[in-house]
Homo-oligomer: A and B are copies of this chain.
Amino acid sequence: MTKLQEMGQKAKVAARVLANAGAKKDAALMSIADGLVANVERIISANKIDLEQARAGGMSESMLDRLTLNEARIKDMAEGARQVAAQTDPIGRILSGEVRPNGMKIEKVAVPLGVIGMIYEARPNVTADAAVLCLKAGNAIILRGGKEAIHSNTAITEVMRDAVESTGLPRDSIQLIEDTSRQSSVELMGLTEYLDVLIPRGGAGLIRSVKENSHVPVIETGVGNCHVYVDDSADLEMAARIIFNSKTSRPSVCNAAETLLVHSAVAEKFLPVAKKMLDEKKVQLRADERALQNLGACDTVIPAVEDDWATEFSDYILAVRVVDSLDEAIEHISKYSSGHSEAIVTNNYGHARQFTSRVDAAAVYVNVSTRFTDGGQFGLGAEIGISTQKLHARGPMGVNELTSQKFIITGDGQIRE
């Protein structure tokens, strides 16, 4: 038996206890919160080792920032655990039920998924956030973080394991894979006997690799090539505010807009207005031929190439295209969208209806910024990721999305004729 298979077996044993742990889970979460706060120095010391190695390895400043833990960030992790503890237990909810004609009662009840594997990249706060959400939903978790954060992740995990154990729940409810080689990741993707689901969280490359290579069922998360379409009937001031917010409020995240589509009837009027706002943040516009005519080539406006329509820039870059109709906008979105968040700005009732019913994405917006696709903003509480697949869960995934179900049938001797 390999090390990972042993971890899988331990996780399965822990998961059986967690499945019926009820309010003990919340005590464990509060204990995790306290443990994180009490161990701020220990975690920061571990993080310093990661940061030194990363600096020596030439990591970029923005990546170093993602890797950095300080007191405030650790307290945020703790506060997250407390908030999740305060949420309603998702397990045991009766999702539906009825008494059948033969008198047997059928209830569909929420149960944990079981054992969740998580493969993620540099940000060490994911270690706590993911473990906390999985624990709340009664799942054991096996974490496989990036090698850049291994010391931070190890410290956080040990603090959480101590905390969970101190409340009488299994220490192995939360496990971290120490081996950060590619091999451990591949082995995790093949651990079908022990894992019920694998959630990758990170860049497009990671997600694609897990999707293509995993034998364990996967929930794809977070690749966002999002569009804002400005219809000919749009309130152009509102449209400018929405594209500005969708693009610039946090360009690195998956719900940021990457392409602006503008109806030709309003392009001449709208594009210069939008450009003026976007110039404040020095957004580079990659424009198709007709958009170029309206914008004029300059420092921040260059011609778009085919690849731009398919790219998640995650930066102050926006592709811009002029279309002649709602149909053309929807066609463009169907072709290039990653199925994350898509918005229309319109005052035309029929166009709003058509856009929401015909665009196939996790979140479809009318006159609202794409930036709201987020568990907290949707009122789900914390989220473990945003699913862009159609199976199991789609859109922001909170604790309810980390559950499965079972049918419980009770009777008094019913047999089938």
Is A131 on the interface with B (CB-CB < 8 A)?
A: no
**Tally of contact residues, A, Cβ under 8 A:** 68
Chain B contacts for A181, CB-based, 8 A:
none
- A48 located at the interface, meaning its Cβ lies under 8 Å from any Cβ of chain B in the complex: no
B366 contacts A411, C-beta separation under 8 Å: yes
Within 8 A of B (CB), among A362-398: 362-369, 371-373, 377-379, 389-392, 394-395
For residue A147, which residues in chain B have a CB less than 8 angstroms away from its CB?
none
Partner of A371, one of B215, B411, B415: B415
* Chain B: minimal CB distance from A11 (Å): 14
**Chain B residues within an 8 Å CB radius of A413:** 235, 238, 241-242, 367-368
Do B414 and A391 touch (CB < 8 A)? no
A186 on the interface (CB 8 Å rule)? no
* In contact, B416 and A404 (Cβ under 8 angstroms): no
Number of identical protomers: 2
Q: Is A197 an interface residue (CB 8 A)?
A: yes
Interface check A113, CB cutoff 8 A: yes
Is there a chain B Cβ closer than 8 Å to A334's Cβ?
Answer: yes
Say yes or no: is A360 at the interface (Cβ < 8 Å to chain B).
yes
A192 within 8 A of B: yes
Chain B residues near A111 (CB-CB < 8 A): 360
Task: Chain B residues near A405: list those with CB within 8 A.
Answer: 394-395
Q: Known A361-B406, A395-B406; judge A368-B211 contact (CB<8 A).
A: no
Task: Say yes or no: A242 contacts B415, CB within 8 Å.
Answer: yes
- 0/1 per residue, A87-126, Cβ < 8 Å to B? 0000000000010100010101001011000000000000
Q: Which residues of B contact A249 (CB under 8 A)?
A: 415-416
A96 to chain B, nearest CB (A): 10
Residue A19 interfacial (CB < 8 Å): yes
Question: Given known contacts A196-B391, A390-B197, is B98 in contact with A414 (CB within 8 Å)?
Answer: no
- The docked-state distance in angstroms from the alpha carbon of A215 to that of B211 is 7
A20 interface residue per 8 A CB criterion: yes
| Residues of chain B contacted by A360 (CB below 8 angstroms) | 16, 19, 111, 114, 406
Asked if A364 and B407 sit within 8 Å, CB to CB, the answer is yes
A408 with B356: in contact, given A16-B334, A390-B114 (CB under 8 Å)?
Answer: yes
Mask: chain A, 284-306; 1 = CB below 8 Å from B; 0 = not = 00000000000000000000000
Q: Are A372 and B104 in contact (CB under 8 A)?
A: yes
Instruction: Say whether, besides A196-B390, A372-B416, A409 and B114 are in contact (CB < 8 Å).
Output: no
List 14 A-B pairs, Cβ < 8 Å: A100-B379, A192-B212, A217-B217, A245-B416, A246-B415, A361-B406, A362-B407, A364-B409, A367-B411, A368-B411, A372-B409, A372-B416, A390-B404, A392-B392
A residues with a Cβ closer than 8 A to B are 16, 19-20, 98, 100, 104, 106, 108, 111, 113-114, 192, 196-197, 211-212, 215, 217-219, 235, 238, 241-242, 244-246, 249, 334, 352, 356-358, 360-369, 371-373, 377-379, 389-392, 394-395, 404-416
